[in-house]
Amino acid sequence: MHAGVEFSGKKQHGGGRQTLIDKDPIQVQIVVDVMEYGLGCQSTHVLVNEYRIQLDAESVGLSCVNGTITRLNPIITKVTRRKQGSTDPESAWAKARLNWVT
């Protein structure tokens, strides 16, 4: 017994977390637009909460934003690796870098 409520073992109606963002299509569109623009989860989190402040709604956590992104089933493309330079002092990159700093 906790706080005067006896545990019955029955499953409560609607269990699980509420999906606060998924109920508002404007917030979902903010998530989609920001992610398509390539700003990432942190920026998406900030912009969704800025919109929610205008509505006088409680702010949501980063996990709520990540859950919304996951439920949208995005196509994730990996960033390809690129060569960053050469250790050869005679390479064009090394010469250009030397000219830049001198």
Instruction: Quote the pLDDT of residue 26.
Output: 93
Residue in the block written with tokens 């060569």: 83
Neighbours of 81 (CB within 10 A): 6
Q: Closest Cα partner for 64 from 26, 28, 25?
A: 28
pTM, 2 dp? 0.60
Q: Is the pLDDT of residue 27 over 90?
A: yes
